Amino acid sequence: MPAPEEDAAARMASVVGWIRAVVLLVLLAYLFSSVALPWKIASVVFGMAGVVCGVIASVKVIRRKLPGVLRVTIPLATLACLLFTLSTSTQVVFYQPTAEYEQCLADTVTARSQAQCKHDYEQKLSTFQGVIGS
């Protein structure tokens, strides 16, 4: 009969790769969500992959009865990937207004012009101007 330490190590070894993948994908989704379009689209891809890996890792962690901290952090990391995916997907759907807003902010110097950029962006979003497919 294997020692309890060996059994725990064997259970953990089968999940380590999935945990590493989830952590890496969360970081990549976060990093790419803060860059300008079109690079921001990569956040959607990494986020979706993170959700898939996170669900698989969560199931493996729960089935193998691994430590409680993993039972909490892996689903939270999966939720973070989902949130990055949803928020960035919304910006991608409004690609043209978001790209114009990002460019406007990059070109502004004063707080007043930044406020004007934000106002114009909100106006375009409220009228669904620039939605992909329209």
**DSSP letters of 35-68?**
SPTTTTHHHHHHHHHHHHHHHHHHHHHHHTT--H
Residue 77's domain spans which residues? 4-92
User: At 7, is the pLDDT very low, low, confident or very high (cuts 50, 70, 90)?
Assistant: low
Say what the pLDDT of residue 31 is. Answer: 94
Mean pLDDT of 66-87: 91
Q: What 3-state DSSP class applies to 19?
A: helix
**Both 65 and 79 in a single domain?**
yes
Name, in order, each residue with C-beta under 8 angstroms of 20's C-beta and a sequence gap of 6 or more. Answer: none
Of the candidate ranges 43-47, 96-100, 112-116, the one whose mean pLDDT is the lowest: 96-100
State the pTM of this model: 0.80
**In this structure, what DSSP letter does residue 3 have?**
-
Domain identity same for 100 and 44? no
Q: Are residues 88 and 106 both part of a single domain?
A: no
User: Do 30 and 86 sit in the same domain of this protein?
Assistant: yes
In angstroms, the CA 15 to CA 115 distance is 48
Q: Are residues 71 and 81 in the same domain?
A: yes
Q: How many C-beta atoms surround the C-beta of residue 80 within 10 A?
A: 20
Question: 71 and 124 share a domain?
Answer: no
DSSP 3-state percent helix, strand, coil across the chain (nearest 5): 80, 0, 20
Domain count, the chain: 2
In a shared domain, residues 57 and 106: no
2, pLDDT greater than 60: no
Mean pLDDT of the chain: 88
106 and 88, same domain (yes or no): no
Looking at the structure, do residues 69 and 99 belong to the same domain, yes or no? no
